[in-house]
Every structure is written in C-alpha cells, then in structure tokens.
Amino acid sequence: MTKVVVIGGGFGGLSAAIELANKGFEVDLLDPESELGGKVARIEDSDGNSFDCGPTVVTLKDVFSNLFTKSNENIDEYVKFNKLDIIARHAWSSDETLDLFSDPQKSFEAVAKFAGITEAKKLSRVFKIGSRTFHSIRKNLYEMPETRNVEND
C-alpha cells in the first residue's frame, strides 16, 4: 500500500486525507495543533470559555455531504447545519453596523442603505463575477482530481 502524508488538519487537509484513504492509500495526517480542524477548531481560555475560531459561513454543503457519502457516512449524524438569514455582521461602533445576508438582494439593499447605491452596485458586480467564477470551476470543487503518476500497490 502506498503511503501518503497530508500536512494540515483543516478542511482541506482533512478532505484530502479522507479522499486518499477512500482510494486505498495509507494516510498520515500531520498538524501542529493538538486538535484537528484548522479554522473550525475551538479554543478555550483560562476560565473555561470556548470560542469557535471560524468560519463564519460554510458554503457548498454538498461538497462535505459528498465526502461523507463516499466514506459511507451520513453527514447529518456528525454536523448540524443551520441556514442563516444574516451571514455576517460587521460593527464599527455600537450604532454603526452592516449585516450581510444569504439573500444577495437583501445584502444589496443593506449596502445601499449603509454606503449608498454606488457601493451596492459594486457589490452586485462582485457577486456576478463570483458566480461566474464558481460555475466555471464547480467540477473541481466537487471532485478531487484523480491522482496521477502514483501507483497504489
């Protein structure tokens, strides 16, 4: 069996390790932290309070669901996803905040109210560019490229 070392235990490293193991490779996963998860790990302060390090938003749930399915597991038994209306709240002071929404139109309206229509139109252009980019690379986001030039004995 061919041995592979994956460095980093965040979303990317964990996903790569699972995909490779599912393809029959022996995988060692290395991470400098005592708990895996990268940005999704929790930290605890000296008073015992725990904090999620991130991410604020998990996009592309299907990517994770497919990874679990390939491993003969049900993601819903491990992870609870909640669709949120407000996906980010930016605060500059107690009375100056900007909420961004899962609905792009609501985000457009919030930015228009906060910074003006010109800035909201810029945001709409960013959304359109992001959408085109996503759809052009979607296949690579959903499927790990086949390993090439590596034989698994």
Instruction: Please report whether residue 109 resides in a domain.
Output: yes
Torsion of CA 67, 72, 75, 77, to 10 degrees: -160
pLDDT at residue 142 in the model: 61
- pLDDT, residue 41, reads 76
The verdict on residue 12 lying in a domain is no
pLDDT attached to residue 9:
92
Element (H, E) at 114: helix 104-115
What are the residue ranges in the chain where pLDDT is below 70? 54-57, 139, 141-153
Determine the Cα–Cα distance for residues 79 and 67; give it in Å rounded to an integer: 13
**Cis bond leading into 55, ω under 30°?**
yes
Number of structural domains, the chain? 1
Residue 134 lies in a domain: yes
CA-to-CA distance for 89 and 58, rounded, in angstroms?
Answer: 15
In a domain, 6, yes or no: no
> Are 26 and 1 in contact, with CB atoms under 8 Å apart?
yes
Q: Which domain holds residue 122?
A: 84-153
pLDDT at 146: 57
Verdict on whether the full-model pTM lies above 0.75: no
